[in-house]
Structure 1
């Protein structure tokens, strides 16, 4: 199509489709150029400055003036001057306004695909390739955060409020001896993992929000499980500095095949200082030995030349980590802001970009960065728009779920379902939404019995086992 495009002063180039700011501005065209632009190009040229590079992140919002096609056409045409939204009736033709509105409307429809209307009435869930039923393993756990399977057949479950339970035969036995936690906001007793030599040494590791006065940080404690008590408690990792915020602790724990312990730590809400600095522990993935000492070949050194626990950086809030059983590589999921949740493959010394690059925008609708890629930044294997709030993650192994074998499972906190990613090597070839509206799905694990287990923040605080139905 042919249109008249007005070139604005640089300060005013970031015109918006909704409202950008309450500050009133004047938008005066100075030069007219005849050119052809698609709706995508018009969004990038006129809207992305205020609403972010990705339209799908922009539409994930409440719509003050309505979100029908007519509402959008009116907003683009006339604007809302008092709210900082300019009128574009002299910038775009009528057809271009309608096409831009329709482009945005398609994004709204994509977002609506996550609004599951049905509430589960039974414990049976159908999917494209497999039907499963829920087998209740535990209830009464409030906010179950992490799970670890004991060799004798029982299950350890952390409860974010600060309690640790051993679950067997649907009974919850409280394990005494856990440390004091700051159970506030996103903090509390978080992930748990067994020592690779657990059968011999009975050692377990758990992450938690460790308080210090009014501050807290992500810490990891090692302890010995003896009956229903923990003994020999030892803090083997503390993320520094402590912070006054109560969110973005990260806290997933994974042992690799060499016996190294990987720890995810969020940036504690301070993206301007923490994730891109190598002088602190926040917004990073760390690697340590089981006793808390530092591997000599860790990629980053301190000023004296000694290795640090840092393994990679530029992470926002990684709450999912798991080893790919085919390659041994560490896969990670992390929360973006509004849009831009990610799946990454963790590499030593890599920079994962936050907040230099992001596919998301701020929760208030303002832009964080105009970059989705940059030199020296690892790009995500997958990003979600809208944000699903990814938490625990696991690869499907064994033959109980043959249609899903090799796929990656990711729990969604925001939309309360289990996300299934089909893989072909490093390429994600498709996704499916499982267990719709089951509840905030905090953790997912493959059990030693070959079944998938999920920890869910539902009304009962449950752990379920997924049993395939023939």
Structure 2
């Protein structure tokens, strides 16, 4: 076959395959989303105000936290319900301070992470709230997100108050010290335990040296705890590089009790930070996996459901929220029996951009219907991702 004819045929096939994949989707695909063939996406809620956290209830309803604004206590928890005519929205509760994490606890109550605390309420009594945990206030990373394990352990992000401990004095830097991290008030994952009867136990710091653990997950079968780290900014200024587009990498960490994961002393695979050049990084826990620089992972889950697409059943799904070249996409990682990544990832949503700018995936959850649900705070919507029929 002549080369010119073969090239033309290949070009036609490239146009034909995505069209065929889209034809198998029940609804038109959202603008700007480059979706992997065999999958479909639909917007099930739009016009929201900074949607962030997401929970799937046993009856299939969704809870979504709206931050609304960064500077006022106007946050809300929405309830989304599927009906024959589409998804219906209602306000379950309001008046929260920048709410993020949301789960239903073993006691049946709804737990919401606000700035500086975790509150809970009964679904039928949303205004009767109880503070179950008071958290340290942080300047740079104040949002509270968490992951609930099947045994009732609740892993809570307490992000750093700085980028890389720039508040330390020259004497403290010379002594390889960062008071912010030493006081366990920032850069840690804390652990609580929730009982069926509503009792909440404070189990203290679970892991340290974590700049900002917005993406947390506990595998329901193996019990492993994964954290996706949002690494530091502007390292190029200290290293005298043209930019920091590829450095440092964000990270995926396998969290274990009592371990230190490097921040602010180390980055990447146990490399000493320029502020702490003599630090013994070999004494810290290295990342399980390096992610692209500034991908900004804000949510992760495993696609575990009998109705999940067979191609991706059990895979680890991570959302890259970043606005730079490696962000605004949804990644899928094949895993081993524990749920740990073991191979080359695939992009489920690639280079997500439209006329409004890049997409911003935040929280990701699996529904009883086998679909992935994710919040997109940049486009003010909730997306449902499912297998084409």
TM-score (norm: length of structure 1): 0.60
Correspondence for 2:331:
419
Distance 2:344 2:277 in 1: 28
Task: Name the CA shift for 1:357/1:292 in 2 (closer, same or farther; >3 Å).
Answer: farther
Q: Residues 72-111 of structure 1: matches in 2 within 5 Å?
A: none
Equivalent positions of 1:287-302 (< 5 A) are: 287-290=191-194, 293-294=200-201, 298=203
Q: Deviations over 1:353-379 (max 9, x none)?
A: 10111129xxxxx94555898233111
Q: Which residue of structure 2 aligns with residue 205 of structure 1?
A: 111
- For 2:279 and 2:330, locate their aligned partners in 1 and report how far apart those are by CA, in whole Å: 26
- Identify the residue that residue 132 of structure 2 maps to in structure 1: 236
| Number of residue pairs aligned between Structure 1 and Structure 2 | 306
Match of 2:188 in 1: 284
Residues 237-276 of structure 1 mapped to structure 2, 5 A cutoff: 237-240=133-136, 242-243=137-138, 245=139, 247-249=140-142, 251-269=144-162, 271-272=164-165, 273=178, 276=181
Matched, 1:443 2:360: no
Aligned mates of 1:139, 1:333 — CA distance in 2: 27
Distance 2:213 2:60 in 1: 29
Cα distance in 1 for residues equivalent to 2:313 and 2:53: 23
The 5-angstrom pairing of residues 148-167 of structure 1 reads 148-161=55-68, 162-167=75-80
Q: C-alpha distance in 2, partners of 1:280/1:258?
A: 25
Q: Which runs of 5+ in 2 are unaligned?
A: 1-21, 23-27, 69-74, 166-177, 234-247, 354-358
Q: Which residue of 2 aligns with 1:317?
A: 212
Partner of 1:454: 374
Equivalent residues in 2 for 1:35-434, closer than 5 Å: 122-123=29-30, 125-127=34-36, 130-161=37-68, 162-169=75-82, 170-179=87-96, 181=97, 188-198=98-108, 203-209=109-115, 218-226=116-124, 229-240=125-136, 242-243=137-138, 245=139, 247-249=140-142, 251-269=144-162, 271-272=164-165, 273=178, 276-277=181-182, 279-290=183-194, 293-294=200-201, 298=203, 309-338=204-233, 339-359=248-268, 367-370=274-277, 374-399=281-306, 400-414=308-322, 415-425=327-337, 426-434=340-348
1:73 is matched with none
Shift of residue 335 of structure 1? 0.2
Distance in structure 2 (CA, Å) of the matches to 1:345 and 1:122: 35
In structure 1, the partner of 2:382 is 463
C-alpha distance 332-312 of structure 1, shift in aligned 2 (>3 A):
same
Aligned residues of 2:101 and 2:145 also touching (Cα < 8 A): yes
How far has the Cα of 1:421 moved from its partner?
Answer: 1.7
The Cα offsets for residues 92-131 of structure 1, whole Å up to 9 and x where unpaired, read as: xxxxxxxxxxxxxxxxxxxxxxxxxxxx99347543xx52
Normalised TM-score (structure 2)? 0.72
Question: Which is strand-richer, 1 or 2?
Answer: 2
Deviation by residue 1:45-87 (Cα, 9 ceiling, x = unmatched): xxxxxxxxxxxxxxxxxxxxxxxxxxxxxxxxxxxxxxxxxxx
1:161-196, Cα deviation, whole Å (9 max, x unpaired):
2111111242221123543x1xxxxxx111101012
Give 3-state SS (helix, strand or coil) of 1:268's partner: coil
The structure with more radius of gyration: 1
> d(CA) in 1 for partners of 2:226 and 2:276?
25
Deviation of 1:142 after TM superposition, in Å, equals 2.6
Residue 274 of structure 1 deviates from its aligned partner by: 5.4
Matches within 5 A, 1:8-27: none
